Structure formats: structure tokens, C-alpha cells
Amino acid sequence: MNATLPAEPVLDDVLAARPTLWLNPQYRPKAIESAQLPIGPADVQRARVNWQRLAPLLATCFPELRATHGEIRSELVELQQLRDALGYRGREFGNVFIKADSHLPVAGSVKARGGVYEVFLFAEGLARDNGLLAEGEDIRKLASEEARAFFSRYTVAVGSTGNLGLSVGIASRSLGFKSTVHMSSDAKPWKVERLRKLGVEVVQHEADYTTAVENAREVADADPTIYFVDDEQSRHLFLGYSAAASELAAQLNERGIIVDGKRPLFLYLPCGIGGAPGGVAFGAKAIFGDNVHAFFVEPVQSPCALVHMMSGSQKLVSVYDVGLTNKTEADGMAVARMSAFVATVMREMLAGVFTVADDDLFKLLRMAWTAQHQKLEPSAAAALLGPEFLVHHPEGKRFQSEQHITDKMNRATHVLWTTGGSFVPEEQFKAFLRQAEILKAK
């Protein structure tokens, strides 16, 4: 161990890998308006415009996007039977929804919002720089044989625990790029296989995610024909995710759900390196301001955002530094060290982090399937416990009191961001369910 954490109420839980809720002492109102931040609300707006410009090309490359004219959207699902199963029947739980990124088209996970965005923006920029796409020309030209032949001279590379690799690999191949995905040891075999079938080169590392990324970055730096999607630093990924917030705002609006000073909104976002949850939270802050409270969710052995933010350190603190193992079945969240960029942006904007045990992930996954036919992967199931922590945990109650929302909880809206699952092969999903059965019997 080579980092010490401050003696906050939940320190013992964190170090003993017990599920807990940590509140961020640096959480501040209006943090998004700070001039110190490297990005601002205008960047979220620009990302939305970029997505709209890319939409016709996306609809050309992916037939499944034709119905939405190239928009990559997920459903907002009201909790019904699952609400009872989770014990959220009481009025104190307000409205509870799932944001089903588990069923996002193209990549089957939240990564469709980040990886696809960055690859398509890169393609557009490259084409413009090389005279393949003039101002005002139809963007669908980038799906032509001529463009594909040009793109095939370039490689898009990425380091991944699995889903980012899927997203970047699928997006790159759809435009004709070569693609190399550096996988960590946590990567599930079916994800590796699926990528290889697409013609993606998969490099498997014996090491963890951080090391896989470092290797990938080194290879890319030495070769100008390799474009590296850098999960630890990328603003494009972050802003691609951020556009999800306006989609959520429209869906809440359609259902007549109001978010204001009397009706707070809670987001529960599974966190690996921090880009996806950070981007979504940032986008939400840009729209809902102080009326939205974003909480990250992490595995008890991989709470990299929790330990780093809790340390208050400028230098990144990893879960190994405090004696945790980074061992988890939730491969989407198996990250030992968070992104420095996300840490800077979220420092005063993150409400807190709660942690979940792997055994509970399998039970939740099974519950979501049997109660409401939601097919989730373990990482995605993590979000489901958010309302329980906010409503019943002592730190949740402290949060309510400090934010002066104790008497507003029955009008609050909770959004559980289920980040992946629909691409999990049937056999693998059955194995998840069997594992949950065994745990239940214990």
C-alpha cells in the first residue's frame, strides 16, 4: 500500500471491500460554470451538432439505424415488476426508470455513444484534410468505395476491457479502416471472438487494462497511420457520451416528468475509467444544473474513481495503492486507475460513488431478467442499487439532509443507467443466470 485515504465515515468499508456509499466532500453547486474546467456546456452542444451531422452516414453504415435516421438511442423504461423485486415499492422512492443502454444499437453497450462517435469524427476529419469531402458535400460519401479504399490505409487502435474494443472495432470496420484492439486479461473470450470475426486484430495482454492502454498508445505513437482512441484522455469519447443527456431530457419531458428545485433527478452510472459516466453526468449538469445529482457505481475491488477522488490527491491514486485487487466479474468496470481528465472535470460535479459486490451483481442481473426481461451484463446490473443507497443508507440520508431534499424524495426521479448486455451470447448469459442460482441457494 502506498496511499492513505482520509478518515471519512466509510473508509473502513472501502478498504475492507464492503459495499458502501461515499459522498464527495468537494461536491459544489454550479461547478459546471467554473472557468477552470478544460471543457464547458458549449462543448456538449457541439457534440450534439456533430452527432446530427454524422447521422446520415451512420444510417448508411448501419441498417439498424435507419428507423431513427442515424441516431443511436436507447429506451427509457419504467420499472414495473422489477421495482417490487428491488424493494422500491414505497413512495419514498419516487419515480424509477432504467436507461437501457444495454440495448443500444451498433455496439450493445454505452460504448456506442463514445467509440462510434470518436471513430466517425476521425474519419470525417481525415477525409476533409485529404480532399475527400469538400465543404457542403454529402457526408454519405464517406461510405463510398473510394473512401473505404482510402480509410483502409489507416488503423484505428484502442485498449479495452472489452466493450470499448467492440464499439471501436465495429465502427472502424464499418468504414473500411483496419483496427487493432489491445485487450486486458479481464476481456471475455466471446468479445475477442466477435472482434476477430469482424477482421479486427486482437492483441491479448496478460496485464490489466491500464497496461493494455499503455501498450496500445506506445505502438500508435510510433506510427502516423495509426489513430489511437485514448480512453484515459479522450475528450471526444467523453463528449460523445455527454450527448446522451439531451436524449434523456426529451424522454423525461415526453412522460411529463419534471426536474426542478422541488423534484430532483438522480443518475446512477456504472464507472470503469470514468469516461462514460463522467460524460453522461457532465451532459446532464449542462441541462439540469444543480437539480441533478450524479452518482458513479463501482465494484468493491475496483473503486478507482472512489479512491482517487477520496484521496484528494492531484496525482492519480489506484485501487492497488490502497490494497484492493481490481478483481471483478464486471469486466466493463475492471479498471484500477481512473482517467485524469475525468477526475479533473468531475472533482466538484460528482455527488458520490457507491460500490457493489460481485455476488450481488449476479443476483441483480437475474432479478432484472426474471422480473422484467432486461438482459444485462454484470457491470450494467450495478446501477440497480442506487435508490436503495440514497434512500436508506446513513450516508444517503446525510446527502438528503445536506442538499435539503429529504422532504422531496417522494417526488424525485431515479435513473438507473444499465450500460450493457444485449450482445452477451445466449450461452454466456445462461451461465450468468446459473451463477446467480448457485449464489441464491447458498
Ligand X SMILES: *Cc1c(COP(=O)(O)O)cnc(C)c1O
Residues lying near ligand X in the complex (CB under 6 A) are found at 109-111, 163-164, 270-277, 332-333, 335, 377, 379-380, 419-420
**Which residue, 264 or 386, has its beta carbon nearer to ligand X?**
386
Cβ 303 vs Cβ 352: under 8 Å: no
Q: Are strands 95-99 and 76-78 parallel, antiparallel or unpaired?
A: antiparallel
Please report, for residues 23, 152, 228, the alpha-carbon distance to residue 71 in angstroms, rounded to integers and kept in the order given.
35, 25, 24
Cell reading at 412: 424525485
Shortest distance in whole angstroms from residue 310 CB to ligand X: 17
Shortest distance in whole angstroms from residue 421 CB to ligand X: 7
Shortest distance in whole angstroms from residue 420 CB to ligand X: 3
Shortest distance in whole angstroms from residue 21 CB to ligand X: 18
Shortest distance in whole angstroms from residue 194 CB to ligand X: 14
**Which residue, 86 or 112, has its beta carbon nearer to ligand X?**
112
Alpha carbons 186 and 343: distance in angstroms, whole number: 23
**Which residue, 132 or 368, has its beta carbon nearer to ligand X?**
368
Please report, for residues 18, 89, 277, 352, 415, the alpha-carbon distance to residue 269 in angstroms, rounded to integers and kept in the order given.
19, 22, 5, 11, 9
Alpha carbons 439 and 441: distance in angstroms, whole number: 5
Shortest distance in whole angstroms from residue 237 CB to ligand X: 7
Residues 6+ apart with CB under 8 A from 398: 23
Shortest distance in whole angstroms from residue 415 CB to ligand X: 15
**Which residue, 169 or 420, has its beta carbon nearer to ligand X?**
420
β-bridge partners, 109: 420
**Which residue, 156 or 333, has its beta carbon nearer to ligand X?**
333
**Which residue, 321 or 377, has its beta carbon nearer to ligand X?**
377
Q: Residue 357 CB: number of other CB atoms within 10 A?
A: 15
Shortest distance in whole angstroms from residue 184 CB to ligand X: 12
**Which residue, 277 or 396, has its beta carbon nearer to ligand X?**
277
Shortest distance in whole angstroms from residue 152 CB to ligand X: 28
**Which residue, 142 or 305, has its beta carbon nearer to ligand X?**
305
**Which residue, 270 or 283, has its beta carbon nearer to ligand X?**
270
- Residues, the chain, total? 442
